Chains A and B, each alone.
Chain A
Amino acid sequence: MHASIDGLDALILNRIQGDFPVSEDPYGDIGSALGVSGEEVLLRVKSLVERGVVRKVGPFFDARKMKYVSTLCALEVPEEKLEEVAAMISAYPQVTHNYLRAGSPNLWFTLIAESREAVARIISEIEKKGGVKPVRDLPAKKMFKVKVDLKVGE
């Protein structure tokens, strides 16, 4: 367990990861379930955000149901061009994740846009601007629903 996460933090995290109450008083509801006040829960959550344990609290949308199209892309970039090409790719607001990874291809990014055409257009722009070809377009054929989130404190 992470040193700065105590028992109550872990209980709160495990409660809110998958199921933040959609109610008039969500923090009060979480508090009632855990035997503490809503104020205490909110203070804890704010502190977890400040400490970087929690990245975000809020809704996670299903891109497909909103008619957005997402994909994972992979390409091989020579080391001397890596920073430049990675920055060019990250500059697209439609790119949400961008990582250098072990092996070949070495650069992996996720792309989310309004249509298949928009995805294809951005990929071909990246190929042209970066002089990097091919950029592999790897849309999910199937996305499995994960049952629970990471249990903290086990």
Chain B
Amino acid sequence: MEKRDIELVRALQNEEIFLTERPFHEAASLLGWTVKEVLERVRALKEEGVIRRFGAALTPRNAGFKSNSMIAWDVVDTRAEEAGSLMSEHPRVSHCYIRPRFEGFPFNIYTMVHGSSPVDLARIIDELSVLAVSSSYRALHSLKEFKKSSPVYYPKALEPENA
């Protein structure tokens, strides 16, 4: 990644700027760029997929989703891509990955699933089971959260432009 983009990524990770009236003006002033330059480069990074999305992340539990779980599925390898693609389109699935199986753990597709209640969660799991064509899964309910944070890319203080 080019030096200017790294500086932009660092500036955009100051999350507090997105709770001000003019977030991209704030980013521009951190960087010593014009707001036009910031907007153009942010749009380009979105286009390139470096920025997957721009938006808000919810804490599901506080947004009315009281029953959340990571569900790991055992899906025949030859069907895994298709099953993952179908499950990822379910509106209550927020993450969906194919991962390696391991000894004692035959599950290869991981989904994060969000329900409003235990009954709702069970209904969603049933629907996913149909999409996956598999009734072999494990609900990896979280029992305790030790850490939850956003990754920090290129961790380094912003250097003043004219230092």
Q: Spell out A's residues near B (CB within 8 Å).
A: 1-2, 5, 13, 16-20, 22-27, 38-39, 42, 45-46, 48-49, 51-63, 65-68, 70, 72, 74, 86-87, 89-90, 93, 95-105, 108-109, 112, 136, 138-153
B85 CB to nearest chain A CB (Å): 6
Which residues of chain B are within 8 angstroms of A1 by Cβ–Cβ distance?
64
Most buried by A among B42, B63, B141: B63
Mostly helix, strand, loop or mixed at chain A's interface? mixed
Q: Which of B43-67 contact A (CB under 8 A)?
A: 43, 46, 48-60, 62-65
Bound: A104/B92 CA distance, A: 25
Contacts of B42 in A (CB 8 A): 22, 59
Q: Collect the chain B residues with CB atoms within 8 Å of residue A18's CB.
A: 53, 55
Interface Cβ pair total, 8 Å cutoff: 224
List B contacts of A49 (CB < 8 A).
Answer: 19
Judged by DSSP, the binding face of B is: mixed
Task: Name which residue of chain A comes closest to B43, CB basis.
Answer: A22
Nearest residue, chain A, Cβ from B6: A66
CA distance A42 to B70 in the complex (A): 33
Contact B35 A24 (CB under 8 A): yes
Task: Report how far A13 CA is from B63 CA in the complex, Å.
Answer: 10
Q: For residue A48, which residues in chain B have a CB less than 8 angstroms away from its CB?
A: 56
The answer to whether A58 and B65 touch (CB under 8 A), given A95-B147, A96-B151, A147-B89, is no
Task: Please state if B39 and A22 are interface contacts (CB–CB under 8 Å).
Answer: yes
Chain B residues, CB < 8 A from A98: 145-148
How far is it, in angstroms, between the C-alpha of A149 and the C-alpha of B56 when the chains are bound?
A: 9
B residues apposed to A, CB below 8 Å: 1, 9, 12-13, 15, 17-25, 35, 39, 42-43, 46, 48-60, 62-65, 70, 80-81, 84-85, 87-89, 91-100, 102, 104-105, 110, 114, 138-153, 155
Interface contact A59-B12, CB-CB below 8 Å: yes
Q: How far is the CA of A96 from the CA of B148 in the complex (A)?
A: 6
Closest chain B residue to A101, Cβ basis: B140
Q: Distance in Å from the Cβ of A90 to the closest Cβ of chain B? A: 4
Closest to A71 in B: B99
B94 touches A53 (CB 8 A): no
Please state if A24 and B55 are interface contacts (CB–CB under 8 Å): no
Q: What 20 new A-B contacts, CB under 8 Å, besides A19-B54, A59-B51? A: A17-B58, A18-B55, A20-B55, A25-B22, A27-B21, A45-B19, A56-B56, A56-B57, A58-B15, A58-B54, A60-B51, A61-B52, A65-B48, A66-B153, A90-B147, A139-B99, A141-B98, A143-B96, A144-B87, A149-B55
